[in-house]
Every structure is written in structure tokens, then in C-alpha cells.
Amino acid sequence: MTDETVPGGAVVVEGVPLEGGVHCETTTAGVLLGHAGLSLSEPLLFGLAGGLSFVYWDSKRQDVPFLGGRVKPFLLTQNLAARLGVTLRVQETASARKAWDEVRASIDEGVPVGLQLDSHDLEYFSSRVHFAGHIVALYGYDAAEAYLVDTAQQGGAVRTSLDSLARARAARGPMSARHRMFSIDLGDRDEVGDRVASAIVPAIADCAAEFLDPPIANVGHRGIRTAARRAPTWLDRVADPGRDLPRMSMMMERAGTGGALFRNLYRDFLTECLDRLEKPALADAVERGRDLVARSAELWATTAHLIDRAGTTLAREDLAEAAATLDRIADVETEAMTVLSTLRRA
């Protein structure tokens, strides 16, 4: 149901969780599932979706190299829906008018939606960097503004003008989508809730297998080794080290990653799983994997600090130390994922 008594003639969906999380896509998934009646923690959402990964991406079109710690945008949502056995309804169109009509129709029917868009154009957003893989939940609108739920860092329940929302949804470029809108049909809430426990082991094992056997050299453990080889060159690679290296560090620590390039989120996911596993052999493997991921998280925080410091010192020694730390991360995460990949056999 919608509540149309809000001042200003707004149409707002009732019963929507408005607290933002640490990551945009898990925040949105939590909003849509929570409204449908299933409340899961953000680490559990991230882990069940197999969200953890690594990618090192650098091209001539980029100002700075990109270090990513999760699967590509929207794949997390698709994985989560498949793992929980819920229906994910996705609509895309080249028409901005049709795109807004679809959103408005869903809100009028009392169903919040997720949107993929470019965060650069959102008026409340704290950073003016283009990122077309950003995802938010929309739960209401009025004649001038859209009512959104974003991460806690961006304000949780926020608003942006309809014009800015249209620009953000129409953005093109890397990771963009064609006015993508999606919603979740939970079906039988009790049945979905019962699937959570049985989904944990396959989710962990599949994530580990993909990390250990990446398709290309800039993904998974191979990608971390690639980043380690390239790190000593970053002072020469970027146009303005004093600006660009701290920006790289910020993206790793504070750009919706939950810190440590999503490793904190995955550590907390594995910790939560320990209470849900009945077989001691499974719990032992998860605990060992969790401890290794926790160590990796510490090393990622150190790496980000070294990259940031290199922007101030302009010292190649800082980037050399960052490279050595990345190699240690690759060792630790390979060991962690090897342990976690044994869950399926156990």
C-alpha cells in the first residue's frame, strides 16, 4: 500500500526500511527484501550473493587504476535472488519517459524498486566522481523529488530532484545500464527464510572456487598479483599523485566498501555463518577461513594507507611496500579460499 497523505502530495510506499548500510547494492537488496518481509543482515546478504571478488582494471581511458573488491554491479543482486529462490523482475528501456512511468507505476502499486544509475548526478551525493554502477532503492516521489534509500554514508533516506534522477539513470559509459529498474517478489516468506541456512555452504564454496580459478589475469588471486606488479609504477602512471593516489585509497576504504575493500563485510558474513552451521567440520573450516579473511582485511587497510601516504611523500618506497603487502594478501586470500572451497566436500 502507499500513503498519499504526505505533505506536498507525495506518494510513499509504507513499511520500507530506511536505514542505509555500508554498500549500495546490499543496502538496496535489504530494503526490497525487508519491505517484502524478510530481514537479513547486510553481511549475510553480501555473502549469500557471493559478493566478494577482486579486479584490477587499468586502461588509457581511466585517470587512475581501479582496484575493486566485489563482483560486477547487479550480478550481486542476481546471485542473491537465485540463491534465495525469489523472483527478480528487471526492466530496461532506452526511453527516459517510459523508464519513469515504470517507476511511478510500481510505487503507486506499493512496491519499492531498485535503480542502477550514475551517482555523479545525485544531488545529495558527497563525491562528484562518475560511477554508473551505483544502485539505490526508490520508495516514493512527489512533483519535484524522488525519495531514495542510499548508504548510511550518503545519508540513508535521501531525496534528489526528478531532473537529477533522470540524468543519473540516462548516463552511459562503463558499468552503465539502460534505465535499469528492478523489484523482488518474495513469494512464500517462510520458505525463503528456510532456504537461508541451506544456501550458506554453496554460496561460500562457489565464491571460493571463482576466486581461485579466475578467467583472466586481472581477477581473483591472479588480479591481486597483477596489482602488486603494477603498484610500483603508479607514481608515473597517474597525472597528479598528490590527488590521485589518495583518491585510489579512498575508493578502497570509504567508497561503499565497508572498509578493507569489502573484506570486513565478508569477515562478518563468515562470523555470522558460524552460528548457523550444525556440522562441526563445516564450522571449523568457516572459522579458519574467517580468521584468514580478517587478516587479509588488516593487510588491505595497510595497503590503502601506504597508497595514500605515497600521494604525500611521493616516495617510491611506499608503493614498493604496498606491492609487497599485496603479494602477502594474495597468499592469505588464496589460503582462505582454499580452506573455504573444501566446504562442499565436507
Scan for cell 560486477, then name that residue: 72
Predicted confidence (pLDDT) at residue 1 exceeds the cutoff of 60: no
Distance, CA of 248 to CA of 224 (rounded, Å):
15
Task: Kindly report the number of other CB atoms within 10 A of residue 2's CB atom.
Answer: 17
What is residue 7's predicted lDDT score, i.e. its pLDDT? 54
The predicted structure's pLDDT at residue 59: 87
Q: Is the pLDDT of residue 6 over 70?
A: no
Q: Residue 111, Cβ neighbours under 10 Å: how many?
A: 18
Share of the chain above pLDDT 90, in %: 88
Q: Are 24 and 138 in contact (CB under 8 A)?
A: no
Q: How confident is the model at residue 134 (pLDDT cuts 50, 70, 90)?
A: very high
Site of grid cell 563525491 = 127
Position 346 confidence tier, pLDDT thresholds 50, 70, 90: low
Residue 260 above 70 pLDDT?
yes
Span 75-95, mean pLDDT?
A: 97
Q: d(Cα 67, Cα 304) in Å, to the nearest integer? A: 11
Q: SS3 of 10, please?
A: strand
- Residue 5 predicted with pLDDT over 50: no
C-alpha cell at 286: 568457516
DSSP, res 167: H
For residue 168, is pLDDT > 60? yes
pLDDT higher than threshold 70 for residue 149: yes
Band of pLDDT at residue 8, cut at 50, 70 and 90: low
CA distances from 342 to 149, 206, 333 (A): 38, 10, 14
pLDDT tens-digit series, residues 323-335: 999 999 999 999 9
Phi and psi at 21, nearest 5°, equal -100, -155
CA distances from 3 to 31, 146, 311, 334 (A): 17, 15, 50, 51
Q: What is the average pLDDT across 91-107?
A: 97
d(CA 24, CA 149): 9
For residues 298 and 303, what is the distance between their CA atoms, to the nearest angstrom? 9
pLDDT band at 2 (very low <50, low <70, confident <90, very high): low
Q: Can you tell me the mean pLDDT for 337-344?
A: 94
Domains assigned to the chain? 11-39+87-185 (no CATH), 192-345 (1.20.120)
* pLDDT for the residue 9: 84
The β-bridge relationship of strands 66-70 and 52-57 is antiparallel
> Mean pLDDT over residues 279-295, rounded?
94
Instruction: Tell me what percent of the residues of the chain surpass a pLDDT of 70.
Output: 97
Rounded to whole angstroms, the Cα distance separating 32 from 43 reads 16
> How large is the average pLDDT for residues 243-253?
95
| Residue pair 101/178 in contact by the 8 Å Cβ criterion | no
pTM: 0.94
Digit-coded pLDDT (tens) for 196-234? 999 999 999 999 999 999 999 999 999 999 999 999 999
Predicted confidence at residue 279, as pLDDT, reads 84
H or E segment to which residue 324 belongs: helix 316-340
At residue 278, the pLDDT reads 80
Angstrom distance (rounded) from CA 266 to CA 252: 15
| Separation in Å, CA 18 to CA 10, 31, 98, 167 | 16, 7, 27, 24
The tally of CA atoms less than 13 A away on the side-chain side of residue 321 is: 14
Rg of the chain over Cα atoms, rounded to whole angstroms, equals 21
Across the chain, what does the average pLDDT equal?
A: 94
